[in-house]
């Protein structure tokens, strides 16, 4: 396999992947590891270090704390909190120097990392296929897109961080021109990045690159499914020669190490992408900037005058790509009753052409990420069945592989009308007015994206204005990207706005220096 040799140092003799700190690949003193199960074979595929940092100070009584300390002592896990503390210290020290590194040099490092990443797309994509069952071609696309994102961020950063502002005092009533204010963007410090399983490389670099160009250091906690692809990606940054301690990557289950990381006093910013976990994190995190990209229930509103072939192809692509495991997947179709039969028939015809099978064979529909995900999806399907939704295909599941399913005549009392399946199962709700569609969309707790299909652009704009979502696509399925577009969720779908420019800005704060001139009575003649 091309380029594999550069990755030999990231794994130990027992084939356990190491964690990355202080510019080196290390084994955790915890002696623990986590198995990553291949969603297709359902067999363990890889092992990563478990930095088992169970948080102690929430546990109430002092006796309980002493008990846990004893457990740590007996089973040898106590020092791993120490390892994370060391990561944070090294990160803080490296950041101070990095912030003084010229902007053009920071950009140079990022361009180098992007090139190395793209050069090693094949072995990284192979991990994505085995860890998260991403279809082979899409896996390569994710790595290449990630390299492009890193380069674009470097260029954008040089431009936007190279500019500041000069303000003069006499524009505010009662002031003379006696003060000049110079304001510029400065880094926040240590950024903690936590991406989800579905894009473990792309959604990691969408945090890493803006953090680094802005002069921050970065601690990555990759998703457990996807950790090995992320570790390979980190090795590409290592090979690009970033200073020691600037980038770290700690692995372990979020449920084990998450609280210790997100509540760590050394963290100055959290950029998180995932599900409801993000809501819990935002309640626990301290007074630091948060970037939250969370779940969605993206609605597709179809009007009578829409191009129905365009609608059908977008529903199939938007609803079933990567087996529906995308935050911006179409997750509910709200179609006007008069065209509903035609839309359902066209969608069914296109769905019949989807290939179902293994990611290695580049099938359209591949196994969902875990057995618990498959069980959750099945629960939504069975609830819809009990409540008499119409099944457009027979429900079929083998292991984690679920055949694509369209559920027609879904009603608001069914769970699937509101919940995010994150699988290849799509509900259709027939509506009698556009207002009904907008109402359903806005009644959701989510507000990520939505889309509307109509030939009437004026109507489309009015509907877009009325939909309470971060983005509305007109005549196309929801999607993230191109990666410099603003991307944001309202309500439970997130905090803040992403996209390359917005992420760079979010990972900085404004610093002002005010020059006070001698009193106005002093003149130069």
- Please, which residue, 77 or 454, has the CB nearer to ligand NAP? 77
Question: 246: burial class by Cβ within 10 Å (0-12, 13-18, 19+)?
Answer: buried
Residue 286 CB neighbour total at 10 angstroms: 12
Contact positions with ligand NAP (CB under 6 A) in 248-287:
253-255, 258-259, 262, 273-275, 277, 281
| Stretch of 24-32, 101-109, 153-161, 289-297 lying at the interface with ligand NAP (CB under 6 A) | 289-297
> Using the rule CB under 6 A, which residue among 19, 46, 152, 197 binds ligand NAP?
197
Residue 295 interacting with ligand NAP (CB under 6 A): yes
Write each residue from 405 to 424 as x if it is in contact with ligand NAP (CB under 6 A), else as -, in one continuous string. ---------------x-x--
Write each residue from 308 to 327 as x if it is in contact with ligand NAP (CB under 6 A), else as -, in one continuous string. -------------------x
Under a CB-based contact definition with an 8 Å cutoff, are residues 95 and 216 in contact? yes
Distance CA 479, CA 300 (A): 12
- Please, which residue, 141 or 183, has the CB nearer to ligand NAP? 141
Residue 396 vs residues 217, 321, 329, 381: alpha-carbon distances, Å? 47, 18, 21, 11
- Please, which residue, 188 or 281, has the CB nearer to ligand NAP? 281
Q: From the CB of 374, what's the least distance to ligand NAP, in Å?
A: 13
Structure tokens at 62: 């002092």
Under a CB-based contact definition with an 8 Å cutoff, are residues 183 and 512 in contact? yes
Residue with tokens 């990611």: 359
> Using the rule CB under 6 A, which residue among 39, 157, 189, 223 binds ligand NAP?
223
Distance CA 457, CA 441 (A): 20
> Which secondary structure element, helix H or strand E, spans residue 221, and what is its range?
none
Write each residue from 470 to 489 as x if it is in contact with ligand NAP (CB under 6 A), else as -, in one continuous string. -------------------x
User: Helix (H, G, I), strand (E, B), or coil: what is residue 123?
Assistant: helix
Q: Is 293 a catalytic residue?
A: yes
Q: 437-443: which pairs have CB atoms within 8 A and are 24 or more residues apart?
A: 437/299, 437/301, 437/334, 438/301, 438/463, 438/466, 438/467, 440/299, 440/332, 440/334, 440/412, 441/299, 441/301, 441/334, 441/467, 441/468, 441/469, 442/466, 442/467, 442/468
- Please, which residue, 202 or 505, has the CB nearer to ligand NAP? 202
> Using the rule CB under 6 A, which residue among 198, 202, 235, 268 binds ligand NAP?
198
- Please, which residue, 187 or 423, has the CB nearer to ligand NAP? 423
- Helices assigned H by DSSP within 162-244: 202-213, 227-239
Distance CA 400, CA 319 (A): 18
Q: By CB under 6 A, how many residues form the interface with ligand NAP?
A: 27
Q: From the CB of 366, what's the least distance to ligand NAP, in Å?
A: 16
Write each residue from 349 to 388 as x if it is in contact with ligand NAP (CB under 6 A), else as -, in one continuous string. ----------------------------------------
Query: Which residues are near ligand NAP by CB under 6 A?
Result: 194, 196-198, 223-224, 253-255, 258-259, 262, 273-275, 277, 281, 293-296, 327, 420, 422, 448, 489, 494
Active site residue ranges? 293
């Amino acid at each position: 396999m091309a380029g594999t040799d550069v990755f030999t140092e990231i794994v130990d003799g027992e084939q356990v992947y190491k964690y990355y700190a202080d510019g080196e690949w290390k084994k955790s003193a915890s002696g623990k590891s986590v198995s990553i199960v291949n969603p297709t074979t359902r067999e363990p595929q890889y092992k990563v270090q478990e930095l088992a940092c169970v948080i102690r100070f929430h546990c109430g009584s002092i006796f309980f704390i002493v008990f846990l300390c004893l457990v740590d002592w007996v089973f040898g896990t106590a020092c791993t909190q120490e390892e994370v503390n060391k990561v944070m210290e090294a990160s803080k020290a490296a950041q101070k120097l990095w912030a003084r590194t010229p902007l053009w040099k920071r950009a140079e490092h990022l361009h180098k990392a992007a090139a190395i990443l793209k050069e090693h797309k094949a072995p990284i994509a192979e991990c994505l296929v085995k860890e998260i069952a991403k279809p082979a071609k899409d896996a390569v696309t994710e790595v290449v897109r990630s390299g492009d994102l890193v380069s674009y961020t470097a260029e954008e950063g040089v431009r936007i961080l190279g500019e500041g502002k000069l303000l003069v005092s006499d524009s505010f009533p009662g002031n003379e021109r006696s003060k000049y204010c110079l304001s510029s963007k400065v880094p926040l410090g240590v950024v903690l990045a936590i991406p989800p399983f579905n894009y473990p490389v792309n959604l990691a670099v969408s945090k890493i690159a803006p953090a680094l160009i802005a002069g921050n250091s970065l601690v990555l906690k990759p998703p457990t499914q996807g950790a090995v692809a992320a570790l390979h990606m980190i090795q590409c940054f290592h090979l690009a020669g970033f200073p020691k301690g600037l980038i770290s990557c700690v692995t372990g289950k979020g449920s084990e190490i998450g609280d210790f990381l997100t509540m760590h006093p050394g963290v100055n910013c959290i950029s998180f992408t995932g599900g409801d976990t993000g809501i819990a994190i935002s309640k626990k995190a301290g007074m630091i900037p948060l970037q939250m990209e969370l779940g969605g229930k993206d609605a597709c509103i179809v009007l009578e005058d829409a191009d129905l072939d365009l609608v059908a192809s977008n529903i199939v692509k938007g609803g079933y790509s990567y087996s529906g495991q995308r935050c911006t997947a179409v997750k509910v179709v709200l179609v006007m009753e008069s065209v509903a039969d035609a839309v359902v028939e066209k969608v069914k015809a296109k769905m019949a052409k989807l290939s179902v099978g293994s990611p290695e064979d580049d099938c359209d529909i591949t196994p969902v990420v875990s057995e618990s995900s498959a069980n959750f999806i099945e629960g939504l399907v069975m609830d819809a069945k009990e409540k008499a939704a119409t099944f457009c295909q027979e429900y079929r599941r083998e292991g984690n592989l679920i055949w694509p399913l369209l559920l027609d005549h879904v009603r608001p009392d069914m769970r699937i009308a509101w919940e995010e399946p994150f699988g290849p199962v799509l509900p259709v709700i027939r509506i009698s007015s556009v207002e009904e569609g907008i109402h359903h969309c806005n009644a959701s707790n989510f507000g990520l994206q939505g889309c509307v299909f109509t030939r009437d652009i004026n109507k489309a704009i009015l509907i877009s204005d009325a939909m309470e979502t971060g983005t509305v696509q007109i005549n196309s399925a929801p999607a993230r990207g191109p990666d410099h577009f603003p991307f944001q969720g309202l309500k439970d779908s997130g905090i803040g706005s992403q996209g390359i420019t917005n992420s760079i800005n979010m990972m900085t704060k404004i610093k002002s220096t005010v020059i006070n001139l001698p009193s106005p009575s002093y003149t130069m003649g």
